[in-house]
Amino acid sequence: MLLKEFLRSIEDDILEVKGRDDIDITGVTYDSRKSLPGYLFVCIEGFSTDGHKYAQQAVDNGAVALVVEKDISIIGQVTIIKVSNSRKALAALSAVWFSNPSAELNLIGITGTKGKTTITYMIRAILEKTGQTVGLIGTVANCIGNEKIPARRTTPESYDLQEIFEKMRDKGAQTIVMEVSSQGLKLHRVWSCHFDVGVFTNFSKDHIGGFEHPDMEDYLNSKKILFSMCKTGIVNNDSPYAQSIIEDSACEILTFGIDNDAHVKAQNIVTYSDSVEFDCVSPWFTRRFKVSAPGLFSVYNALAAISVCGYQGIDSDSIAEGLKHVQIPGRAEVVPTPGKPYTVMIDYAHSPDSLENILSTVKSFVRGRLISVFGCGGDRDKSKRPAMGEISGKIADFTIITSDNPRTEEPFSIMSHIEEGILPTGGKYIMIEDRTEAIRYAMNMAEKDDIIILSGKGHETYQIFRDKTIHYDEREIVENILREVGD
C-alpha cells in the first residue's frame, strides 16, 4: 500500500510531511526491533521509554517512513510525518493495515472499575449457547472459541488489538466482547474501533497515582470516551456516576439496576452460598434467572449481560443457560481442598469496594469463621491500603496481611500501610510477608466450616518484585500445601 493511501486515515492530525508519500509500505510497527525494509515506524511515548529514541534503529532496520509527534534528526533517506498525537495515528494506521476488522464484527466493550471480566465471560457464555463463535479480549486471556492467548494487559496496544481482531475474524468470530480499560481509552488503544455496544458497570477509587490517573476526574473522563464511540450505551443506573455518563454520551442509552428506575431491573433477589437468583423485568421478557456466582455484585454483572444480549435479540433461554453455567477464573473461585472441612476461595479483589463486596458476600453465608488473606500492590494508589485494612478488620473474623505484587516498594512498608487501617477496628490479625507462608498459616488455622478468602491475585499466575517476576499460581500453592500435609 502506498504511504499516501495510509495517510488519508490521519490527514486531519498531520502537521507536516517531509519526504515522498508515493513510497510502498510493506508493514507497520511501533517496536523498532520489529522494523523491516519498507516498514512504517510509529514513535509512541510510553511510561518507561519513548519510541522517538529508537527511530534511528527502526530506520537502520529498514523503515522508510516515520510517524512522530516530536522533532527528531535521522540519518538516511526516510519520510517523516509529524502528527498531533502519534498514539491516535498508530491506532488509525493499524486499523487500515488490517482492513478495519472491527467494522465487520459485533464489537461489545465493557468499561468500569469492577465487573468487566465477569461480564465479558457472561456475555460470551450466553452467545455461545446460541451457536455463535465469540472472541474475548481482557484481563485473564484473549480467547477465540477454545483457543487461549495469554493477555499482557487488559486492553492491548492498538496495533496488537487490530491484529487480534483480524485473527478472530478470520477464525470465524461473529462477536467480540472485550474489556475496555480507562488506560486503553485514555491512551487511544481503542481509537478507530467500531463499537456496537458499550457498557458502564460502576465507578470507584482505583488506578489513581503512579503511571495511572492523576485524579478521579481524569479516571472518570477516560471511561466516558467509550460512550462517544459506540452506537448504544448500557449504563448501571444505580451508580452515582450514571447521570454524568449519560449526559456526556453521544449514543442511545439503555439502563439497568436494582434500586433506581431502569430499562432492565432485578427484583425478588435470593442469595445462596454458591449462586443468586432474581426476577428480571426487561423490555424483551420477564423471567427468573440463576447465576452461578454469589452476591449482589453478581446480580449487577448479570443485569449488564442480560441488557446487552436482550438488546441484541438473544432469547431468554440462551441467556438463562449461559448465566447458570458460566465460570470466571479468579472471581469467587473455589479451590479444591479434598478431605478438608474448610473452603478456600480466590478472588481478584484489589480495591476497597471489591474487597468489601467479596468479604461481605461470604460473611453472609459462612457458618464458621471468615479468614481474609490479602496485600496491596506496590507503585499503586497508597490511599486504598488503610481503607482495605479497615474493611477486612471490620468484616473478617481474622485477617492475614501479606504481600501482593510489591514491585519496587518494600513489602513490609506496604503491609504497614494496611495495618494502619486495621488497628482502629480491633479486628484480629497477623502480618506475614511471604505470601505462601501466609496461605499456609491460614490453612493450618482453619477449622470446620471456615472459609479462607485469598484476595488480590485471582487469575494472575505471577508475582512481581523489584528485580524479578516469578511464577505464582495460588491454585498450585494451595495444592502444594495440601500435599505437604498429606506427606
The answer on 108 and 92 residing in a single domain is no
User: How many domains are contained in the chain?
Assistant: 3
Using a cut of 0.75, tell me whether the model's pTM lies above it: yes
Quick one: pLDDT at residue 343? 94
Q: What are 431-451's pLDDT values in tens digits?
A: 999 999 999 999 999 999 999
**Cell representation of residue 69:** 509527534
pLDDT at 223: 93
pLDDT score, position 153: 75
Residue with grid cell 452467545, as numbered in its chain? 127
Q: Which residue has the cell 442509552?
A: 253
Radius of gyration of the chain, Cα coordinates, nearest whole angstrom: 24
Domain of residue 12, residue span? 3-97
What percent of the chain has pLDDT above 70? 97
pLDDT of residue 42: 98
**Spatial separation of the C-alpha atoms in residues 116 and 102, rounded to whole Å:** 20
The answer to whether residues 117 and 75 belong to one domain is: no
pLDDT of residue 140: 84
d(CA 431, CA 423): 12
In this structure, the answer to whether residues 210 and 299 fall within a common structural domain is yes
Low-confidence ranges of the chain (pLDDT < 70): 47, 150-151, 205-214, 486-487
pLDDT in tens, 37-53: 999 999 998 867 899 99
174 and 108 within one domain: yes
Q: What is the mean pLDDT of the chain?
A: 94
Q: Are residues 365 and 429 in the same domain?
A: yes
Axis crossing angle, helix 316-325 with helix 296-311, rounded to the nearest 10: 150
Question: Domain check: are 247 and 391 in the same one?
Answer: no
Residues 145 and 93 in one domain: no
Same domain? 80 vs 109: no
411: domain CATH number? 3.90.190.20
Going across the sheet that includes 195-200, the strands are 147-150, 141-144, 134-137, 175-179, 106-111, 195-200, 230-236, 252-257, 264-271, 276-281, 286-291
| Bridge partners, residue 111, by sequence | 200
Q: What do you get for the CA distance between the two ends of the chain, in Å?
A: 64
- Do 218 and 235 belong to one domain? yes
